[in-house]
Amino acid sequence: MFGACDEPGEFRAPPLEGASDGGPPKFRWFCLEHVRAFNAGYNFFDGMTADEIHHAQRPMAGWERETRAFAHAGGDTPPKWADFSDPIDAIGARFGERVAAARKDGRALSDGERRALKVLGLGTDVDRTGLRKRYSELVRRFHPDRNGGDRAHEGELQKVIAAYQQLKGAKAFA
Torsion of CA 69, 71, 73, 76, to 10 degrees: 140
pLDDT at site 19: 63
CA 98 to chain centre: 11
- Answer left, alpha or beta for residue 23, where phi above 0 means left and psi between -120 and 50 means alpha: beta
Per-residue confidence in pLDDT tens, the chain, 174 aa: 566 788 888 888 887 776 666 677 788 888 999 989 988 988 888 899 999 999 888 888 777 777 766 655 555 565 565 566 767 767 666 665 555 546 777 777 888 888 899 999 998 888 889 999 999 999 888 888 877 777 788 889 899 999 999 988 888 877
107 Cβ contact list (under 8 Å, min separation 6): 171, 172
Q: Which of 101, 102, 168, 172 is nearest to 135 (CA)?
A: 168
**pLDDT at site 83:** 62
Q: What is the model's pLDDT at position 164?
A: 92
pTM of the model: 0.43
Around Cβ 161, how many Cβ atoms within 10 Å? 15
| Domains detected in the chain | 1-67 (no CATH), 73-100 (no CATH), 111-173 (1.10.287.110)
pLDDT at 162: 92
* pLDDT for the residue 23: 72
How far apart CA 73 and CA 63 sit, in angstroms, is 24
